[in-house]
Structure 1
Amino acid sequence: MRSPDPEQLADQLRGVLEPVVTDAGLEIDAVEVRTAGRRHAVKLVVDLPEGSTATGFDLDDIARLSRTAAAELDPHEHLIEGSYTLEVTSPGVDRPLTRPQHWRRNFLRLAQITLAGGESVEARIGQADDDRVQVAVPGRKQPELREIAYRDVTHAQVQVEFKPAPKAETALLGADRPDADDDSETSANEENR
């Protein structure tokens, strides 16, 4: 019996692993399968669910989930022909922003955004809903507030910064409002209902 292609296999494995990841208080961000002959590498990327009040998870959490996920995969070895390795990890800073919750989690972070027309914009992430995100684009004198629809984004990724965000940008995005964080939490909680 031949294994399905990597994308089909990833979808099947997502279904198998979803309950154990959810039981661990996390959610699946991605399941990736790479094959080399009869060997497979399964990468399970997990993150906190949107709306979670937790501030993060540590290596012990990842190790426990890795053992539980491996035990869950054992009875389903018929899905993976040949041997495999399982890697359980959290998303790194290099994870592309592909879903609305990725944008919401990175409120006030700097991102490099490539738009469908080829324009590339470096901007600070503001409030995000299910269809678009507000960003502050640095300007010579003042930052400019823009709204970008996700459908117009071909690639976006958070940038590493070594200094605090400019106050003009964070103020433009509403970070100085007492309810700034509550807005994103409210929309996340409403989405989860």
Structure 2
Amino acid sequence: MKNSINLRFGILVAIILVATAFRFLAVVAPTLSNFSPVGTIALFGGAYFTKKYWAFVVPILALWLSNLVLNNVFYKQWYPTFSFGFEAAVFISFALVVLVGIVTLKKVNVTNLLGANLLGTLVFFIVSNFFVWTAGKIYPQTFDGLVSCYTMALPFLKNTLMSNLIFSAIMFGAFEYAQSTSKSLQLQ
């Protein structure tokens, strides 16, 4: 029993780490901005980790470590324009998407997964862009500035939703298939 729990945990972490590597696509293909498995990683953790603190810890740690590499190696000139508040907003948004996964994916099926992806994408979009607006560095802190912030972020919303749907099909499909072929990955 304990070995199967450890195996399941290890497989979940491995899938998240492999998916995290795909965040580096944006470095080699800048047109894929916001085309990333980040939202799916959050939903995946929320859906499958039995101890829910791991649902937050593992995905957030994967995001943080990949941010360290992306921000310090690839985006040295870009990153300083954003503040700690922006970074915190991304992690708060990400944690909320984990929560969406916990609440909506108690039973993983296509309908629930589509709903979780739509809701998770919208939560991330609304919360993260609200924090971008409140920082006051890019958009004026007026109603027009808020509308402008969300309007300018719409192209990113499309890429985020598309990537969430594609990575969800891959990650959830792979784990569901693995569970169906290995009793040691199934919850008792």
Instruction: Tell me whether the two structures share a fold, i.e. TM-score over 0.5.
Output: no
Q: Hey, which of these two has a bigger chunk of strand by percent?
A: 1
Q: Of the two, which has the highest radius of gyration?
A: 1
Q: Hey, which of these two has a bigger chunk of helix by percent?
A: 2
